[in-house]
């Protein structure tokens, strides 16, 4: 089972490796993934203690992602070397490789809310012409009219159900 390790734990493990403790036995004792510990060790050798603090998060374009994936697929560069070179996690690069092999896009997905409906209230503008003002008022009145129609049908349905049950319609 995977668990997160804080900076002090990573530094302690790497210092034990540097003092001569074998990687295999250390990983077995602590029940930690060998590849992860090896990556910590290599990051420590390349970046020092800052390398153990975590991986920086930045956005890569689809072309940059494709170049990294092609280095792995076509040139045969090891995943560990790519992680160190580009300061990325193994899982990120593995995800890009999987998407590439499935023929899916490496484009960054859009985040945030979906665009509003055309009937939504338009944003207020500084200066509006008479035509724009009338168009926005017309849009508002259409929305109001649609709402009132909906309320009327709901009230009529409620009254019809009440009549079927033998009750008097409510005065609300």
CB 13 within 8 A of CB 37: yes
Residue 3 has pLDDT above 60, yes or no: no
For 107-129, the pLDDT digits (tens) are: 877 777 777 676 666 566 666 78
Taking residues 86-109, report their average pLDDT.
Answer: 84
pLDDT at 141: 95
Residues 49-92: tens digit of each pLDDT: 877 776 665 677 888 888 888 888 888 888 888 887 777 878 88
Three-point CA angle 52, 92, 38, nearest 5°: 40
Q: What is the mean pLDDT of the chain?
A: 82
Q: Give which of 80, 73, 78 is closest to 99, Cα–Cα.
A: 73
Which pLDDT value is given to residue 63? 86
Average pLDDT over every residue of 21-32: 86
CA 171 to chain centre: 51
Position 10 pLDDT exceeds 70: yes
**Where in the chain does DSSP place strands (E)?**
none
Q: Write the CA distances from 5 to 11, 24, 149, integer angstroms.
A: 10, 18, 59
Ramachandran sector of residue 162 (left: φ over 0; alpha: ψ -120 to 50; beta: rest) = alpha
pTM for the whole structure:
0.44
Tokens of 54: 């975590």
Per-residue pLDDT at 2 exceeds 60: no
**DSSP H or E segment with residue 47:** helix 34-47
Number of helices followed by number of strands (H, E) in the chain:
7, 0
CB contact at 8 A, 30 and 14: no
Measured distance CA(68)–CA(88) in Å, rounded: 11
pLDDT of residue 1: 32
- Classified as helix, coil or strand, 88 is coil
């Amino acid at each position: 089972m995977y668990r997160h390790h804080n900076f002090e734990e990573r530094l302690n493990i790497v210092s034990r490796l540097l003092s001569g403790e074998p990687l295999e036995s250390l990983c077995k004792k602590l029940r930690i993934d060998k590849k992860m510990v090896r990556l910590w060790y290599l990051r420590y050798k390349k970046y020092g203690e800052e390398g153990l603090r975590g991986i920086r998060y930045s956005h890569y374009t689809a072309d940059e992602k494709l170049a990294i994936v092609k280095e792995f697929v076509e040139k045969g560069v090891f995943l560990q070397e790519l992680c160190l070179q580009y300061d990325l996690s193994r899982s990120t690069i593995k995800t890009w490789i999987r998407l590439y092999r499935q023929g899916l896009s490496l484009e960054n997905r859009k985040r945030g809310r979906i665009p509003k409906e055309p009937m939504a209230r338009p944003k207020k503008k500084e200066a509006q012409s008479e035509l724009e003002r009338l168009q926005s008022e017309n849009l508002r009145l259409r929305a109001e009219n649609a709402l009132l129609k909906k309320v009327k049908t709901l009230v009529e349905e409620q009254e019809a159900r009440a009549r079927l049950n033998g009750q008097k319609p409510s005065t609300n």
